[in-house]
Amino acid sequence: MNKAELVTKIAEGAELTKVQAQKALNSFIAVTTTALKAGEKITLVGFGTFGAVNRAARIGRNPKTGKEIKIAAKTNGKFTPGKSLKDLKAKPAKAAPKKVKAKVKK
């Protein structure tokens, strides 16, 4: 599902226009981004928690040359799913039918 499809589903579910749903989604994204940059957590009970993770600077290697390189410290966003998302069951992949060789008795 892409952003446009998500906006359509939100509009249908909340009985909003697509423009209103688009504004609501954009506002959620902006507020979440601002809060994470400020080091805050956002917890949606039953859904999950958005948080920020700080990664320390480290030394890495260029896989092609083997030369050491410095990797700068940075902050990444992180999402931890809540109970309702952890309990989801994935749809099983459809397996191709197995080919069975029939044994012929002589």
49-62: average pLDDT: 93
Residue 20: alpha-carbon gap to chain centroid: 24
Residues 6 or more apart whose Cβ sits within 8 Å of residue 71: 57, 58, 59, 60
CATH of domain 47-84: 4.10.520.10
| Selection from 74, 88, 6, 65 nearest residue 37 by Cα | 74
Overall average pLDDT of the 2-24 stretch = 95
Residues 56-83: tens digit of each pLDDT: 999 999 999 999 999 999 988 999 999 8
Residue 46 pLDDT class (50, 70, 90 cuts): confident
Top pLDDT among 98 and 12 is at 12
Q: State the pLDDT at residue 21.
A: 95
Residue 86 is predicted with a pLDDT of 83
Would you say 48 and 78 are in contact if contact means Cβ atoms under 8 Å apart? Answer: no
Spans of all domains in the chain: 1-38, 47-84
